[in-house]
Amino acid sequence: MNNNYITSKMRTLVIEHQNITPNSFADRATKSLIAELQNRSIGIITATSYEDARAVIMSTQIDSLVLALEKTEEQIVNSNEEVDLLAALQARQSEVPVFLLAERARTSILNNRQLMERVDECYSVLEDTADFVAGRIVASMRRYRAQVLPPFMKAMMHYNNIHEYSWSAPGHQGGIGFTKTPAGNQFFEFFGENLFRTDMGIERAALGSLLDHSGAFKDSEVEAAKIFGAHQSYSGIVGTSGSNRTIMQACMKDDDIAICDRNCHKSIEQGLILTGARPIYMVPSRNCYGIIGPISKTQMSKEGIALKAKNAGIPFNADEKKASYAVVTNCTYDGLCYHSEVTEALLGESSSRIHMDEAWFGYARFNPIYKGHFAMRGDAKDHTGPTVFATHSTHKLLNALSQASYIHVRNGENAINFDRFNQAYMMHTSTSPLYAICASNDVAANMMKGESGLSLTNEVNREAIIFRQSVRQLFNDYTAENDWFFKPWNAETVTEMNGDTVNFENASVESLMTIQQNWKLTPGDKWHGFDEIDNDWCMLDPIKVSLLTPGLDDNGNFLETGVPAALVTAYLGRFGIVPTRTTDFQVMFLFSMGITKGKRDTLINTLLSFKRHYDANSPLETILPELVASSPETYSGLGLKDLGNKMFEYLVRHNPSQVLNQAYSSLPEMEVKPRTAYQFVVSDEVELVASDKLVGRVAANSVIPYPPGIPMLMGGENFGDKTSPQIQYLKALEAWDAEFPGFEHETEGAEIEDGKYHVLCIKKDAL
């Protein structure tokens, strides 16, 4: 097997003459060239129109493009279709060599600067032989292949092509070990030989070292820093959880102050445990749908943070000594993105180092719609102010394998030098990295380089916007008939390219892809549901699409009837469609670079199918047979709408979203730091406590309901008295789980025993 990318099968896209006379000399010359390329083992893809060629460019990797042009002088002068096609190629597959074959109108072609700027070589079909042209094309393709791969991927593939006999780890030795038993052989066949051949031990000095950031690893990280606009970038292989913990471990020691977004990933709590830092929490807003909004500017201000510290009993004066670390989730899981320049300015008054956890936002730098709303803005050399970190889960919405992540750093105030930072990095990085993860990070960064980043993000935004508009139009059509449908959560009126105000569904896709104001949350707008939001403070990411189901009015009051989102998600799941988040009346979908029009349209078809079956009250035995089989005593004989009505009645009766909002809008009293709470776990001075006995108890670990997947209670915090919204929410979950088996919620940090939620608490006599 030859693993060398440079010499593996190459492909040429040949666009045949648009106005060719069959069997003419030009036609025969083109066919002769194709034959010569095939003789050199080049794969040929032919297109007979520019539209066809564009489709190939957007969906298939090619190594060269041959444009056979047979047009008159007038056609060349009056047509831009060749220029438009080559611009699309440049945007999607930059640096692919382009060859133009022509005889007629050669003077006009040579005088067409826009066309000639995009063509690498131009040949005459009457003068240049097919053998000569084919040789030039193949040589150019080889040069292209040699430079197209990013540093680490190229080095790994070259090294793998040596076909070494290794006498070191890993023990499977290129996968051969797996082939020696039936189960192992199936494992080997399923993943394919290349994965195992590139799973090599860290002693391969020819590739450098991930831990020392040397060799091809260093080259890859230097290139990533250029692409993402950082002073330094660090490739991570243990997910953004590991990247977040790395930054925190590098920034803080015991009892240092950490200013933390309460809407944080659990890895932030883990960082607090590891460092022993003392947190001051900023609390984000929430609307009636449970969608998490931004932290207010007031809370981020120096005065607001000082007040938070005072209320928590933490001595802190930023004028005497700034906090060692501050973290903000940007964008939020629901797709809200802060005005990052203002965020840095506000937090910079209280902290010398700011971390933006951009796990779901690694693509923002590459599309102007997000201008000013991400950490690594502009040119790194122009950076002033606090040191800024950004973490990206490249495996989430870029194109990398799971566990791939980046840390990007812009050095400023209180910067941490490489040697000190790398001590923390090595604590959280395996000494036996899976090179496939490293390579996928390398490739994910490279894919965003140049014009391809804009092309890829534009495509995702376009598909998400078309989906939003299609759903909104369906919503309008049905509501005009006093019927119901899903409603996309976004502005209802927007600004068109000419400045006119139009309905969202009637706007041009171009205006929604380019005018940022159309995605900003403005004070007073009813659609977003955040009554006290600051002006010019955050925007909605177009690709994070929330659909609202009927059930609430604009003020959060229950309507007479509703369609619970949990039922929609269960129905979608039967057809292999998995939303990323579901609340009482919200279903959320992430559009990513793996989107296709078929995937988009199938989702719309399935939503329409759900509505059809819901309105018809189709029997659950037909629609959700697995659910009925799992609990026949609860669901037998019910229709889809029957179950929806029962769920809606429950939501009206218990209003768990309101209880959860109350739980998240208040900060429980912190009895001990998260680190101290964890030490009680280590010493086994903890016990499981039932929900009806949690009054006054101190949690030993965080309690994280899904959704939204952020801490309702941190380790070391007190549940409070009998009015505690945290306790009330756990009891509401118990009632839901008992009434609707198969629709149980996941709550990390809590266990269910005999139908009751139990939380690990610190023993009273241990405190």
Lowest mean pLDDT among 16-30, 617-631, 707-721: 16-30
Any idea which of 132-136, 387-391, 687-691 has the lowest mean pLDDT?
132-136
| pLDDT given at position 1 | 33
- Please give the pLDDT value at position 69: 76
Can you read off the two tokens belonging to residue 616? Answer: 């018809």
Query: Dihedral of the CA atoms 479, 518, 355, 439 (nearest 10)?
Result: 80
Listed range (106-120, 195-209, 327-341) with the worst mean pLDDT: 106-120
CATH homologous superfamily for 656-762? Orn/Lys/Arg decarboxylase, C-terminal domain (3.90.100.10)
Mean pLDDT of 427-442: 93
Task: Calculate what percentage of the chain has a pLDDT beyond 90.
Answer: 73
Residue 716 near residue 686 (C-beta atoms within 8 A):
no
Residue 3 pLDDT: 44
Can you state the percent helix, strand and coil of the chain, rounding each to 5? 45, 15, 40
> Amino acid identity, residue 334?
D
In the predicted structure, residue 65 carries a pLDDT above the cut 80: yes
Lowest mean pLDDT across 53-57, 351-355, 383-387, 635-639: 53-57
Compute the average pLDDT of residues 347-374: 97
Instruction: Tell me the one-letter amino acid at 419.
Output: D
Task: Quickly list H helices, 79-129.
Answer: 81-92, 106-111, 113-117
Mark residue 516 as left, alpha or beta (left: phi above 0; alpha: psi -120 to 50; beta: remaining): alpha
**Is 656-762 the same fold as 11-148?**
no
What length is written for the chain? 767
Report the amino acid identity of residue 217. Answer: F
Q: Are strands 746-748 and 98-102 parallel, antiparallel or unpaired?
A: unpaired
pLDDT of residue 554: 86
Helical segments of 636-713, H only:
640-654, 656-665, 674-682
Query: Is the four-CA dihedral 233, 239, 244, 245 of positive or negative sign?
Result: negative
What are residue 686's phi and psi, to 5 degrees? -135, 165
**pLDDT the model gives residue 398:** 94
Q: Which of 559, 554, 623 is nearest to 288 (CA)?
A: 554
How far out from the chain centre does Cα 136 lie? 41
pLDDT at 383: 96
List, for residues 460-479, the tens digit of each pLDDT value.
Answer: 999 999 999 999 999 999 99
Band (pLDDT 50/70/90 cuts) for residue 705 is confident
C-alpha distance across the termini of the chain, in Å: 64
Binning pLDDT at 50, 70 and 90, where does residue 199 land? Answer: confident
Q: Looking at residue 716, what is its pLDDT?
A: 96
For residue 621, name the pLDDT band (cuts at 50, 70, 90): very high
Q: Residue 664: CA atoms inside 13 Å, Cβ hemisphere, count?
A: 29
pLDDT of residue 31: 86
User: Under 8 Å CB-to-CB from 441, ≥6 apart: which residues?
Assistant: 220, 224, 235, 236, 237, 394, 400, 404, 405, 406
DSSP 256: -
Give the lowest-confidence range in 14-18, 172-176, 586-590, 667-671.
14-18
CATH superfamily assigned to domain 454-653: Aspartate Aminotransferase, domain 1 (3.90.1150.10)
DSSP state letters, 376-444: S-S-GGG--SBEEEEEE-HHHHSS--TT-EEEEEE--BT---HHHHHHHHHHTS-SS--HHHHHHHHHH
Radius of gyration of the chain (CA): 29
Distance CA 566, CA 605 (A): 18
> pLDDT band at 2, cuts 50/70/90?
very low
What residue spans define the domains of the chain?
A: 11-148, 151-196, 225-449, 454-653, 656-762
694's CB contacts (< 8 A; 6+ apart) are: 719, 724, 726, 727, 730, 759, 761
CB 566 within 8 A of CB 650: no
Distances (CA, A) of 222 to 354, 445, 742: 22, 11, 49
Give me the residue label for tokens 């599309």.
367
Amino acid occupying residue 227: I
Confidence check: pLDDT of 5 > 70: no
Of 62-76, 180-194, 489-503, which one has max mean pLDDT? 489-503
Helix (H, G, I), strand (E, B) or coil at 273: helix
pLDDT over 80 (residue 109): no
Report the distance separating Cα 6 and Cα 386, nearest Å: 44
Burial of 612 (0-12, 13-18, 19+ CB in 10 A): exposed
What does the DSSP 8-state code read for residue 668?
P
Look at residue 448 in the predicted model and tell me its pLDDT: 95
Paired residues of 750 in beta bridges: 759
Confidence band (pLDDT; 50, 70, 90) for 203? low
In whole angstroms, what is the distance from residue 202 CA to residue 225 CA?
23
pLDDT at 277 over 50: yes
Amino acid at 472: R
- How high is the mean pLDDT of the chain? 91
- 550 has a pLDDT exceeding 50: yes
Phi, psi of 503 (to 5 degrees): -65, 145
pLDDT of 111 > 70? The answer is no
Of 25-29, 372-376, 450-454, 664-668, where does the model show the most confidence? 372-376
Whether domain 11-148 has CATH 3.40.190.10: the reply is no
Contact yes or no for 56/2 (Cβ under 8 A): no
Q: Are 233 and 406 in contact (CB under 8 A)?
A: yes
What angle is formed at CA 159 by the lines to CA 154 and CA 160, rounded to 5 degrees?
100
Q: Exposure string (b/e) for 186-219, b if CB count within 10 Å is 16 or more?
A: eebeeeeeeebbbbbebebeebbbbeebebbbbb
| Angular region, 589: left φ>0, alpha ψ -120 to 50, beta rest | beta
Measure the CA–CA gap between 215 and 228, rounded to whole angstroms.
20
Report the pLDDT value the prediction gives residue 594, as an integer from 0 to 100: 84
DSSP string, 306-375: HHHHHHTT----TTTS-BSEEEEESS-TT-EEE-HHHHHHHHHTTBSEEEEE-TT-TTGGG-GGGTTSSS
Give yes or no for a cis peptide into 708 (omega within 30° of 0). yes
pLDDT value at 164 more than 70: no
> In CATH, which of 3.40.50.20, 3.40.640.10, 3.40.50.2000, 1.10.10.10 is domain 225-449?
3.40.640.10
Closest CA to 615 of 638, 636, 634, 639: 639
